[in-house]
Structure 1
Amino acid sequence: MRLLTHNMLSSNMKGVSNGFPLRIEVEKVVEKQVDFNPDFLKNMFSKVHWKALADASRIMGYAELPEEADRSMLDSDDFLRKFHHALLELHLEEGALVCPETGRRFPVNKGIPNMLLHEDEV
C-alpha cells in the first residue's frame, strides 16, 4: 500500500467522528521504483494532507520530508523527488492501519489493506 493510498483512507466505523489519519503499524516495508512525474506531484500536492504524509513516511523509516510544506517548494527538484519517493515508492507490504479513535486494527497483507467492517461496526 502506497502512502498516497494511506493519505486517502479513514476509519468509517459507526460512531467514529475522527478516523483520520490511520496510524501505521509496520511489519514490512518495500520500495518499488516508479517513474518520476513532476506534473503529477504538483497536481497531487493540494490533495495530500501533508502532516499525515510526513508522519507516515517517518513511521515507515523515511525521514526526508519536512514537517511542513507549501506550494513554493514545488519549484525544487530535490523536494519533488523526496515527495515522489514518500508518496509513490514506499509501500507498506505487511502491517496494520489503526483507527486513531477506537484502536480498531485493519490488517495490511501483501500490500492490500482490509478495511471491511464487521456487521456491528456499520
Structure 2
Amino acid sequence: MKKRMLLVWVGLVMVSLLTACNNPPSTDLADARAALDAVVAAGAEQYAPEVLVRINNKMDAALKDIEAQNAFTFRDYSVAKFNLIQVYDDSNQLRAKIAEMKGEPKVVVAMKAKPFAEQ
C-alpha cells in the first residue's frame, strides 16, 4: 500500500513538473504580429479603422495574458493562444476584404493569406 501511494505521489509530481514547463506561444505570436503588420500595410487604417482597433485590442489582450502567465509557476497560455489565433484569422479576413475594396484579384489574396512560416 505504501509503495502504491509513493508511486501515485511521484506521478503527480512528474505531471506537475511537466505542466510547469509550458512555453509561451512564440510561433503564434510571430504569425499574429506578421498578419497584423500586413493588414496595416494593406491600408486597414484607411478602409476599416474600427475593425483594426478590435484586432489590436485582441493582440493587446493576448500580450497581457502572456505577461501575466509568465509570473506563474503553472502556466496556461490557452487564452493567449486563442486570442493570437483570432488576431491572425481576423487580420487575414480583413486583408481579403480590403483587397476586394481595392479591386485586387482574389488569387493574390489567397497567396498572401498563407501563414508566413509556410512561405
Q: Do both share a fold (TM > 0.5)?
A: no
TM-score, normalised via structure 1 length:
0.28
* More relative contact order, 1 or 2 (CA 8 Å, 6+ apart): 1
Higher strand fraction (1 or 2): 1
TM-score, normalised via structure 2 length:
0.28
Higher helix fraction (1 or 2): 2
